[in-house]
Each structure stands twice: as C-alpha cells, then as structure tokens.
Amino acid sequence: MSDNPASDVLDIAPNVDDALRSDKPVVALESTIISHGMPYPRNVEAASAVEAAVRAAGAVPATIAVLGGRLKVGLSMDEIRRLGEQGPQVIKCSRRDLPFVLARKETGATTVAATMIIAAMAGIRVFATGGIGGVHRGVAETMDISADLEELARTNVAVVCAGVKSVLDIGRTLEYLETAGVPVVGYQTDTLPGFYSRCSGFPVDYRVDTAKEVAAALQTKWDMGLQGGLVVAVPIPEAHALARDEIDGVINEAITEMQRQGIAGKDTTPFLLARIAERTGGQSLEANIQLVLNNARVAAEIAVQLGHDIC
C-alpha cells in the first residue's frame, strides 16, 4: 500500500484493498471511456464486461473515478451506471484537474494520466485502457500534446493499450515517448497497433511474446529506480479489426469536420469518436469495445505475473 500523504482523499473498495494487502493481482481501469468514450447504455455494458474479463484472467478489477471529491479505486455497478448515464456531463479529469475537482467535491471521470496517478497512489502497477493520448495532428500550430505522455514518463504504472489513439500523430507521439524514456513494446507484434486496425506501420521499441516477459522488464526497470511506466501495445483481435486504409479515410474526414467547426482541447476525442462511429455504422464502437476487452485480459495476465517470483 502507498504511504502517499494524499491517501486521506483516497477511497479503496474493500475487495480491491483486500487484494492489495494480500499481494493479489489488481488491474486499474479508467472511467473516461465510460462517460466520454461510448454512448449509454453500451458504456455501462462494456465496463461490466471489461471488469469480468479481468476477473476471468485471475486479477481484481479496479475502475477509477472521482466521486463527490473523493478518489475512488474500485467502483460499484451503481457508480459505474451513474457515470454512464451522466455521460459527457461528467468532468473529464487529467492531472491539472484533480485538485479542483476534489476541492469542489465534484464528480469526474479519469483520463489515462489521472488514472495512472490514482492507481499509483493505491499501489496498483498495471492499467488497461483502449488507447493512450499523444501528440495531436497539427501540433506545430496548436501545441496540443496529451498529458498522458508526461505521466508515462513519471508514474510507475504499466499501460496496456491498443496503441496510440488513431486520430493522433502516431509518429510524433512515438518520438515524444522515446525522448521521455518510455519504452513502447509490442505484445506479440513487431509493429505498433493502429487502434482500430492491427498495424499502424510504425515499429515498436521491443517485441514481447508473453506476460512473463513484460513483468520481468517492468520489475527490472523499477528495481533499477528508473521512474515511469511502460506502454504495452496489444493488437485488436483480428476478427474485430477494421481495414487500415478505410478507417484512416474516415478519420481524416472527421478531423477535417472537427477543424471546420473549431473544436479543440478536451472536446476533440469525444467528437471524433462519435463521428467515426457514425460513419462506420457502429463498427468502430464495436471494435473499441473488443480491443478494450482484449487489453484487459492481457493486463490481468501481466498483473498475475508481477505477483510471481520472476527469474
């Protein structure tokens, strides 16, 4: 358990707390994907299925959010349902937002960065999500770079994902992570997954083929005192993958529309996800759900291995 002085605002669900105290594997899950990433009621159904996938793989799920000014690690289904029903009305919380949402005793859904912070406070070392944020297209004009990247450089949590969100500038995001010293590994792949598609065309730093390999690298990194996380990039299952050329065309059209409407900042990703889902007839939403489920399974396997004596 963490000795962080901020633990007085941290509420850990009894089952998660028991698991942590017993050194049982726990996987953190974010809540922005519930409130801002999918429509109701699919968001609630997906969140429930993701938690079930973590349990089936031998770990304890801990969905994270801010509720009434408290950092919550492990949500009940009623709490998840309320987040899903409120949807985008819930405050989207990254590192900069947490002090204000807590001080005002508000409710917030945690991004990758905020989920990593709270997971680390609780002592959770593995986190499963859909895709990480990164460098936005047109960054030379907007300077829009996700706080997720800085968090990966400073917080000791491994992030299991399907790569960088495909609406971003993947090449520049990988350059940023390299500069920050964050390893990007491909899980059973030599190339970075393209979120909705299995390949983005960009190479990863290292390929790993088993959860044990990931756990060994993580343990070695942290034993050396090297701060920061690790990106474990897992391709979407082939049965649910979308064709790269087709989805790239849809994404480019959605970005053009977003720019025409002047949408920026926190509203960017929810707008693009909604437009992409609309233009793919819901295929992208189903792909999103399936890749998160797959990531959750892999994250649980890694968490299980971290609990073993790794040689």
Catalytic residue from among 72, 165, 221, 301? 165
Rounded CA separation 281/93 (Å): 29
Give the bridge partners for 73, in sequence order.
12, 64
DSSP 142-176: H--B-HHHHHHHHS--EEEESSB-TTS-HHHHHHH
Rounded CA separation 113/248 (Å): 26
Catalytic residue from among 30, 51, 79, 301? 30
Other Cβ atoms less than 10 A from the Cβ of 44: the count is 18
Pairing status of strand 60-67 against strand 108-110: antiparallel
For this structure, is 30 an active site residue?
A: yes
For this structure, is 221 an active site residue?
A: no
Rounded CA separation 301/232 (Å): 12
Cis bond before residue 41 (omega within 30° of 0): yes
Quick one: tokens of 245?
């050329």
H or E segment to which residue 295 belongs: helix 283-306
Amino acid occupying residue 231: V
DSSP 34-93: HHTSS-TTHHHHHHHHHHHHHHHTT-EEEEEEEETTEEEES--HHHHHHHHHHGGGSEEE
Identify which of 75, 73, 79, 114 has the alpha carbon closest to the alpha carbon of residue 93: 114
Q: Any idea which residues carry the catalytic annotation?
A: 30, 165
